[in-house]
Amino acid sequence: MTPDTASGGVPSEIARHYPRQIELADGAPVELELMGSRDIDDMLAFARTLPPNDLMFLRINITDRLIVEHWVDSIEGGRTLTVVARQAGKVRGEATLRH
């Protein structure tokens, strides 16, 4: 049986929990949202702030627009789920599950 999916290929059971706001231990607010095509430029901007030593541990080159676009295609196809963390509107991190 296939789960119901929201737009973007994300199961509705998951999508209904986003966006959501959490608070870090220091009290700083963080907005968590599901990544989509609207996040490509922000993800590239975030990636380009990371030191090269951090980037070498990532599975894909998230500083490359075509690769990030392919990543979003995978999200929209239901093969990947990515949650983006934002503070003051800027991407500060992401977490991805691939299947």
Can you give the pLDDT of all 99 residues of the chain as single tens digits? 455 656 567 888 889 999 999 999 999 999 999 999 999 999 999 999 999 999 999 999 999 999 999 999 999 999 999 999 999 999 999 999 987
Q: What is the CATH number of domain 12-98?
A: 3.40.630.30
Tokens of 27: 């009290």
Helices 65-76 and 40-47: crossing angle in degrees, nearest 10, is 130
Q: Are strands 90-98 and 80-87 parallel, antiparallel or unpaired?
A: antiparallel
State both tokens at 15: 């999508």
Instruction: List the domain boundaries for the chain.
Output: 12-98
What the block records as the tokens of 40 is 């490509």
